[in-house]
A = this chain, B = another copy of it.
């Protein structure tokens, strides 16, 4: 992020760790989630104070208030980004991540693509009665580690429990607040003809990793989710290419759906070249066996950027310098028509319309 924002931090009011620590009178020994843990009464408090707060550690504030009150210091201009996502991925744990890290990265990335510096997250669980407490503990550790690595705080939360059979083990909602720098305004509607389309790396890994973990398919592959926080990459790109028009993280529906949404927002066409799009060999092979197009598969650590031609190479260099953007590429450009459409120049030399995802070949990948 640009200099003025990098020094901004959220100061959380009303943190009283000594008091919270004093309350941990008894160790938390419950082995499974019961309906009482969702009652709001004694068992709920025990869960929060005995498991959730200690596992999240210094990242979380106390649970004494129903709202966190934040001093967004330096926020003279008063612009914030606000986003929400629920996570229902199945299985909960997959190569390269789990529902906890995903819930942190996904919401950070929705803030980052708005050009915001992520500041804080909320964390709300819906738990199924009978869930092993060790599963919740692992997810909490993962939430804590991901938030810590990304420099965001968990400032408020909620826990509900539903009877056995009324949910699938554990769902998470994270909402997030980020600070938007003065004058910063990113939107696909700012795209102009000739702008370049950049993609930060190889596609399809998250969706395929989750799919293989879920179905235990007989596909020999060592594919990990690309789940990662992208806010630093966004900040670096904006530093290098300050007139960048827009970002998007191609999650559900993949690159094809994201580009279609952007083309429709701006009322332009986007043309991309198949040969420029990085796809790992094993992802491509898995997609072929499953009859899927990698362009429709979800990513959780990739970034699309629309950049004016004069700054495209600077943006590309910034992407490639990022730990999550080593295989970044310029994959296409903005055309004036056919309006609202995405065109794919195939490796064979032809051209076809690339549609949004239709149907859902891979449900519950986030």
Using Cβ atoms and an 8 Å threshold, which residues of chain B touch A40? Answer: 251-253, 257, 298, 357
A105 to B73: give the CA distance in the assembly, Å.
29
Asked if residues A82 and B41 are in contact (CB atoms below 8 Å), the reply is no
B178 touches A110 (CB 8 A): no
Interchain CA distance A39-B44 in the complex, whole Å:
34
The number of times this chain is found in the oligomer is: 2
- Chain A contributes a number of interface residues (CB within 8 A of B) equal to 97
Taking the closest CB of chain B, its distance from the CB of A147, in whole angstroms, is 15
Q: Is A351 an interface residue (CB 8 A)?
A: no
Q: How far is the CA of A247 from the CA of B249 in the complex (A)?
A: 40
Q: Is A24 an interface residue (CB 8 A)?
A: no
A235 within 8 A of B: no
Q: Indicate if the CB atoms of B82 and A156 lie closer than 8 Å.
A: yes
Q: In the docked arrangement, what's the CA distance between A34 and B359, Å?
A: 9
Q: In the complex, which residues of chain B have a beta carbon less than 8 angstroms from the beta carbon of A13?
A: 79, 185
Q: Secondary structure at chain A's binding surface: helix, strand, loop or mixed?
A: mixed
Q: For chain A residues 35-85, which have a beta carbon within 8 Å of chain B?
A: 35-36, 38-45, 64-76, 78-85
A168 is an interface residue with CB less than 8 A from chain B: yes
Contact pick for A162, options B41, B125, B364, CB 8 Å: B364
Measured CA separation A267–B19 after assembly (Å)? 9
Render A185-225 as a binary contact track against B, CB cut-off 8 A, 1 for contact: 10111000000000000000000000000000000000000
User: Which one of A112-120, A237-245, A275-283 is at the B interface?
Assistant: A112-120
Q: Which of the candidate stretches A169-177, A311-319, A324-332 sits at the interface with the other chain?
A: A169-177
A171–B126 touching, CB < 8 Å: yes
Q: How far is the CA of A69 from the CA of B187 in the complex (A)?
A: 11
Query: With A and B bound together, what is the CA distance between A120 and B177 in angstroms?
Result: 12
Query: Is A43 within 8 A of B358, CB to CB?
Result: yes
- Is A265 positioned at the interface, with any CB of B under 8 Å from its CB? yes
B residues near A38, Cβ cutoff 8 Å? 252, 360, 363-364
